[in-house]
Amino acid sequence: MTAVEPSVVPATPAARRGYGRWVAIAVLVVLAAAPLFLAPFATSTLSRVLVFALFAVSLDLLVGVTGLPSLGHAAYFGSGAYAAGWTSIHVTAEAPVPLLVGAGVGALAAASTGWITARSAGVFFLMLTLAIGELVGQVANTWESVTGGANGLTGVPAVRIAGQPLANAGFTHWYVLLVAALGFALVWTVARSPFGDALRGIRDNEPRMRALGYSTSLYKYAVFVLAGGVAGMAGSLLVAQQRLVSTADVGFLISSLMLLAVVIGGAGSLWGACLGAALVVVVRDALGPTLDGHGPLVLGIVFVAVVYLLPRGAAGLLGRTR
Amino acid sequence: MSALTCTGVGRAFGALKAVDDVDLVVEPGARHALIGPNGAGKSTLFKLVTGTLRADTGRVELAGRDVTGLSEVRRSRLGMSQTLQHSSLFGSMTAAETVVLALRRHDGSRITPWPRRDPALRERAQESLTGVGLGGRGDTPVPALSHGERKQLEVALALACRPTLFLLDEPAAGMSPAERARLVELLSGLPEEITVLFVEHDLDLVFALADAVTVLHLGRVLLSGTPADVRASDAVREAYLGAGRREELFTR
């Protein structure tokens, strides 16, 4: 017997696609127009939301689509951030070089560690990624000549486009929005492809997929590298936005907060992951000071409430998640 | 050349020899049944053939090719396809999506990381569902299918892999008499190119379908022959009824 619950009857795909497209366009327009109306601090908070939304989407490709819960995904986010920052300081800050370097190093870091995790699943995957995340965090802490050690990598110049630095929060926001939208589109495309169907098959029933002739380890490795690359992209956006990288950006706390974001949003739903990331960033960074440092407490309460009330996350409110 | 040859195949779990030095030859186009009382090692032998478990000793050959060292994935690509004893499907997919997974893997199309419109694929999925009597159920999510329908989907899924050797582990388990009749009809209607090896408890179904039978008992082959041989054999009757053991008890 398959251990699955009868699911909610889905709305017809055509209807969902129809209104989904308009919602997506409306959200993009609002995000693009935001700097014209918001104060610089609010704009840069919104940029941070986008950075972490892209990170959460890359993590959701592992957790929600493939069923691999990772507690070390910040390792690739951080690797990308350090690489993009270092390139901006020592080579060039001209777009898209830091972005490509960030994505490349994120993917490379995932490729060089993913072979350890590709054969595992479930709790073992969770523990292995946790260990790898801690290792990378340790490297960031001790490799001072490159990462700046505990001081972090500071004095990163602003991203330049055609020689012009993106001097204010508004221009930076548009750059972040453009790249995050591209990254989201990339993950969305992959999730809807035949490859994405195979990933869902692995999530549902990996032994059966092997019996059907899919080398599941290979698929898991490929998606791990891809998710690492997209996380590296998000890392390069983090540097573009906050102009420094610290060891906290590679650490366990970020990994676990983002896993939380994916669960709050509804694992498997990409836009749900974006909502979850937005909630985490807003509570932690924007409301944190006014809550007298009790941001994590609020997040904890939200998490418990979500698990009890919305077992399929925010996305569960709108019917079936894929 | 036989479709499947097992030579001296064995597998032990600790001190228990679940399968012990088994020889099995399945002729091309055969409807070969593997029977035996509970604990005879049928399911273990089945797993050794599919590659889910690796044999400790012996050789497994698929159409003359040694596959003993190959993984389940490689064996599947070489034309072995299986249904499992407990239906094992994909909880988030519809019946049609499930079959498409297997069709894509085995019709030579590439598993691309970008979306593809492929109406021909949808059509073939529809055909294979119709073939097992699930024609109108393509868009039904798997969890909403009945137990019998899931078993039918299992068969469609395994056949979508275009097998040359089709392995079924207790295909009729938990089926109603009507569903059983449909299963017999379906399996006997399979083309000659597909060799079938099945494990089954229901002896009526075995005698209705099989043209060759291998009886396992306590991990060893008790008898291999035609259904008539098996019916006539005292040894088989004793193994099933436990008469052999009772006799031992009295003679010692």
Q: Grade residue A2 by pLDDT with cuts at 50, 70 and 90.
A: very low
Provide residues of A within 8 Å CB-CB of chain B.
1-7, 10, 189-190, 192-198, 200-201, 203-205, 207-216, 226, 322
Per-residue pLDDT reduced to its tens digit, B21-62 = 999 999 998 999 998 888 888 889 999 999 999 999 999 999
Same domain? For B171 and B60 the reply is yes
The CATH code of the domain that includes B202 is 3.40.50.300
Same domain? For B92 and B26 the reply is no
Average pLDDT over residues B91-119: 88
- Statement: residue B73 has pLDDT above 80: yes
Among A212, A186, A183, A184, smallest CA distance to A198 is for A212
Return the percentage of chain A with pLDDT > 90, whole number: 52
> Quick one: which H or E segment has residue B230?
helix B227-232
Quick check: A49 and A282 in contact, CB under 8 A? yes
Instruction: Give the contacts of B221 (CB within 8 A, at least 6 positions apart).
Output: B22, B23, B24, B214, B215
CB contact under 8 Å between B105 and A214, yes or no, is yes
State the Cα–Cα distance between residues B202 and B49, nearest whole angstrom.
22
Quick check: B167 and B197 in contact, CB under 8 A? yes
Q: Which residue has the higher pLDDT, A230 or A152?
A: A230
In this structure, which long-range contacts are made by residues B116-125, counting pairs with CB atoms below 8 Å and at least 24 apart in sequence? B116/A193, B116/A194, B122/B96, B125/B96, B125/B99, B125/B100, B125/B160
- pTM for this predicted structure: 0.88
Which of these three, B162, B177, B200, is where a domain ends? B162
Q: Give the one of A1, A198, A209 whose C-beta lies nearest to B87's C-beta.
A: A1
Q: Grade residue A181 by pLDDT with cuts at 50, 70 and 90.
A: very high
Chain A CB within 8 Å of residue B251 CB: no
Same domain? For B249 and B176 the reply is yes
Quick check: B154 and B87 in contact, CB under 8 A? yes
Which 3 state secondary structure label does DSSP give B1? coil
Same domain? For B252 and B167 the reply is yes
* Mean pLDDT, rounded, of chain A: 87
Closest CA–CA distance from residue A83 to any residue of chain B (Å)? 27
- In terms of residue numbers, what domain contains B131? 88-162
Closest CA–CA distance from residue A210 to any residue of chain B (Å)? 5
Quick check: A52 and A44 in contact, CB under 8 A? no
* CA nearest to A203 within chain B: B90
State the Cα–Cα distance between residues A48 and A61, nearest whole angstrom.
20
Tokens at B192, concatenated: 């000659």
State the Cα–Cα distance between residues B50 and B52, nearest whole angstrom.
6
Same domain? For B173 and B70 the reply is yes
Same domain? For B33 and B131 the reply is no
Q: Which residue has the higher pLDDT, B48 or B87?
A: B48
Overall number of domains in chain B: 2
Which of B80, B81, B97, B111 to mutate to probe the A interface, most A CBs <10 Å?
B111
For residue B36, the model assigns a pLDDT of 86
* CA nearest to B98 within chain A: A201
User: How many CB contacts within 8 angstroms connect chain A with chain B?
Assistant: 107
CB contact under 8 Å between A201 and B105, yes or no, is no
Which of these three, B147, B162, B177, is where a domain ends? B162
Buried b (16+ CB within 10 A) or exposed e, A205-221: bbebbbbbbbbbbebbb
Which of these three, B134, B162, B190, is where a domain ends? B162
Same domain? For B100 and B125 the reply is yes
Same domain? For B107 and B222 the reply is no
Per-residue pLDDT reduced to its tens digit, A159-169 = 888 888 887 88
- Statement: residue A49 has pLDDT above 90: yes
Domain boundaries, chain A: 41-249
Chain A CB within 8 Å of residue B84 CB: yes
Same domain? For B35 and B57 the reply is yes
- The type of residue at B238 is E
For residue A12, the model assigns a pLDDT of 46
**What ipTM describes this predicted complex?**
0.86
CA atoms within 13 A on the CB side of B9: 33
Any idea which of A163-177, B210-224, B234-248 has the lowest mean pLDDT?
A: B234-248
| Torsion sign, CA atoms A244, A248, A250, A255 | negative
Per-residue pLDDT reduced to its tens digit, A233-263 = 999 999 999 998 988 888 888 999 999 899 8
